[in-house]
Amino acid sequence: MPVLLLCYGDPAAKDLLRKAIDARYAINPPVVDALKISFKGKTQVKVGPVKSWVPLDVTAHFKFPTQMRWDFVAKPMGLPVRRGIESLSHDVYRSNRNNNTPEVIDDPILIVSARRRLWSIAALLLTPISDTHIKLTAMGARSFEALNTKLNDAVTVHLRDDHTLERVESRCYNPETETQQTFALHISEEQEPVGDFMLPKKISVHWDDTPSFEMEAKDTVSNPTLSEALFDLSEDI
């Protein structure tokens, strides 16, 4: 059945979102409050003096709109495996690298950046941005802004001529460059069913025009029960 758009704002922007949801999910759009998703891909890692692409495994957990856990394993050839966890639980941001003690990061700039990246993933799924506290504003013939009015976080959604998703952008702080940049999810034209979802075949992540990593979804679990301990990093996946 058609998705019920509870968001508000420009009629033109709401029409774009409705068409994007139809183009992705047809007659069966999912209702997403929580999500577990596994990815395989590759990431840019500095190996010696240069950056190289190395294999990447990711397991991500989401409780929209304020909780995220991102477990990743990068596998440089001939070098130790690099493991990390990034977690956002409401306004508490935690990081763990290579099985060390989790660190609570209280820098508000980094917290906002993590939250906006979470909001970008929500926008990629489309249906979470149809909720009641979301304001849509048309930005052009094929783009609109989705503002989470509770958090004051916004993403810009760009569509192709056939209303499939092309990319999602948000202004975020990049700790690697120590500057505000455009965090962008570039979406492949091809899409395929993964678990309960129809998802893009490939997602490429950029900071401005620089590629950071790319990945393909391999498995999803829709609306799993996710504990608070998972997000405060006291529970392993």
**Cβ count near 60 (within 10 Å):** 21
Residues 120 and 135: their CA atoms lie apart, in Å, by 15
pLDDT along the chain (237 residues), means of 10: 75 95 88 91 84 92 89 86 90 86 91 90 88 92 94 94 97 94 97 90 96 95 94 88
Q: Is residue 16 part of a domain?
A: yes
> Which pLDDT belongs to residue 4?
65
> Which pLDDT belongs to residue 139?
95
> Which pLDDT belongs to residue 1?
40
Verify cis geometry, omega within 30 degrees of 0, for the bond prior to 80.
no
Residues 130 and 146: their CA atoms lie apart, in Å, by 9
Q: Which domain holds residue 214?
A: 8-53+108-221
Q: Is residue 172 part of a domain?
A: yes
Q: Is residue 122 part of a domain?
A: yes
Could you tell me the two tokens for 71? 């477990």
Q: Which residue has the tokens 């990447």?
A: 56
Q: Considering its fold, how many domains does the chain have in total?
A: 1
> Which pLDDT belongs to residue 3?
57
Q: Is residue 79 part of a domain?
A: no
Residues 66 and 56: their CA atoms lie apart, in Å, by 25
